[in-house]
Amino acid sequence: METLLEQQRRYHEEKERLMDIIITESLNPKNTIKDQINSDHRIKYMQDKLIKVTKELKELYEDKDGLRKEEIKVMSGPKAFGQFYSRLKLIKDFYKNYPAEIAVPMSVEYQTILQTLDNPIETDVNFTDEEGKGKYLDLHKAFEIYLNIKGIQPMDYVTFITNFDKFFDIPLELKKTEYRNYLVFLLEYFTDYCSKVYPLLDVQTELGSVMKNFEIEWNKGSFPGWPISDQDDKQTLDDMSIDLNAYSSPEELASLGLDRLKDTLKALNLKCGGTLEERSKRLFSVKGKKTEDIPAAYLAKDKKHSATLKFMDKDSQKEMASMEARLYYFVELFGEQKADSKENVQRKQATGVGEAAGFYDDDDEADDFEEIHDEEGLLADDDDGTPYNPKNLPLDWDGKPIPYWLYKLHGLNINYNCEICGNQVYRGPKAFQRHFSEWRHAHGMRCLGIPNTAHFANVTLIEDAITLWEKIKNQKVVERWKPELEEEFEDTEGNVVNRKTYEDLKRQDLL
């Protein structure tokens, strides 16, 4: 059994080795973005392990149960040698009983980790195809949500990538529930993307600083896209245009005249039509009220600003503005990826066949593309008019090979073999799945005496198909109707028995 002091020593050793690995990994050169991201994730893993070991070590030093102090007292007392030899005896007895047990030193374990740093293995970071292993942003889903916001002007994807961070340009009357859902999705996406691209960044601390600055700007009314009139919830209508406190009745307000009352009602975003008496009553009825307390019937329908205040309270406004503030931080953080994403989409939309090699992030894929295309491009033909096609790519409608990126996109570089079809090879997952309902596979199943049902989907080996068919037949035998056991009869006394028991009783004249 490991003593507390030995655990303490082991934790110290592990801390030093972890720090050594982190330093070594940090100093290793990174040539590409993918190498940098993989290195950051390895460092993050080591840091988490270091924090865990440090917490365990801190608990040992705190010694809340007093076991460490007692152990030190026993080892340093007059019976120290006796304790030493008794523990030595326990170790010898253990290895005598378990001679095959080998204790691997920690140095061997961490030496193996240090050796892998020279030839690092790619970490398991789940990027989408559009993200290009951390080089670009994948905002297609956000683009769909944005277009579904009621009142938003349609645009293309390139324009969306360019302007999606200009939240201050979106009118206040459009910032409703759909807009809030859009902000929530963007925040979730950027938070997840940040954890994949910058795993060492303390996002929560950075966002805490962002929220402090947001509170200051919000209280001053200087946050972009949210005017101060929307934020000052202490402001009453008594502060605008006319001091209503100086008037005690609508008749006194009527003395101001039609034009003055109309200008005052417009300034307060209220309906300004009607007779002199109606205008004075309408203005006097809002005396002492806050903006959000005004009845909907008094608000001017053509005032978008007033409508916005009516459907959205102050807390909702501040919540959406705070989400915008956090998104401003993420957009600034991923400014390079945003610009690269726009260029990548434009290049994909405008590229020709000969330029398709630029789509590939991996050098290996680009080399494969160059092997397929000669100096004159994919359209170069041989002397006999046959298209240059060393990789045997499928032909397009014009009789020339399809682009290599499209070949890889549809998985046509992957071959699937079906033994039931006579070892027929199918190119790509779509053709492979489709062949299960075609005549060749159905004929192979009939030759085996097996029905081509959904039970045998994705089964390509004859042995597997036969084994599965035997299992299905055995299961059907078990589930088959057995009248002698399951058919019920009733005797003269009303007792229900199965058919076999009923016939036995009948033969014995017991019914």
Give the 3-state secondary structure of residue 56: helix
**What pLDDT does 299 receive?**
73
Confidence category of residue 94, pLDDT binned at 50, 70, 90: confident
Are 425 and 409 in contact, with CB atoms under 8 Å apart?
no
Confidence of residue 387 (pLDDT cuts 50, 70, 90): confident
Lowest average pLDDT, out of 23-27, 105-109, 144-148, 497-501, goes to: 105-109
Q: Among 75-79, 221-225, 506-510, which stretch is predicted with the lowest mean pLDDT?
A: 75-79
Select from 252, 281, 246 the least CA-distant residue to 265.
Answer: 281
Query: Helix H segments across 174-288?
Result: 177-197, 203-220, 228-231, 250-254, 258-267, 276-285
For residue 297, pLDDT over 80 is answered with: no
Output the pTM of the full model: 0.50
Mean predicted lDDT score pLDDT of the chain: 77
Helix (H, G, I), strand (E, B) or coil at 247: coil
Backbone angles phi, psi at 240, to 5 degrees: -110, 135
Q: Which residues of 104-128 are buried (b: 16+ CB within 10 A; e: fewer)?
A: eeeeeebeebeeeeeeeeebebebe
Q: Does the pLDDT value for residue 44 go beyond 80?
A: yes
CB of 426 closer than 8 Å to CB of 415: yes
Rounded to whole angstroms, how far apart are CA atoms 75 and 509?
90
What single-letter amino acid sits at 232?
A: D
Tens digit of each residue's pLDDT (9 = 90 or more) over 104-150: 566 656 666 655 555 555 556 778 888 888 888 999 998 999 988 88
Helix 203-220 to helix 314-333 angle, to the nearest 10 degrees? Answer: 130
Distance of alpha carbon 36 from alpha carbon 26, whole angstroms: 10
Q: Which two tokens stand for residue 407?
A: 């070949």
Alpha carbons 399 and 504: distance in angstroms, whole number: 80
Q: In sequence order, what E strands does 338-382 have? A: none
Residue 233 has a pLDDT of 42
Cβ-contact 411, 429 below 8 angstroms: yes
Please give the pLDDT value at position 200: 85
* Placement of tokens 């699937």 in the chain: 416
85-99, 176-190, 404-418, 460-474: which range is least confident on average? Answer: 85-99
Distance CA 484, CA 242 (A): 99
Question: What span, in angstroms and rounded, lies between the C-alpha atoms of 66 and 56?
Answer: 15
Q: Dihedral sign, CA of 259, 261, 262, 264?
A: positive
Per-residue pLDDT tens over the stretch 198-255: 888 888 888 888 899 888 888 888 888 777 544 444 444 444 456 677 777 877 777 7
Rounded CA separation 69/78 (Å) = 16
More confident call, 261 vs 208 = 208
Q: Which residues contact 151 (CB under 8 A, 6 or more apart)?
A: 171, 173, 174
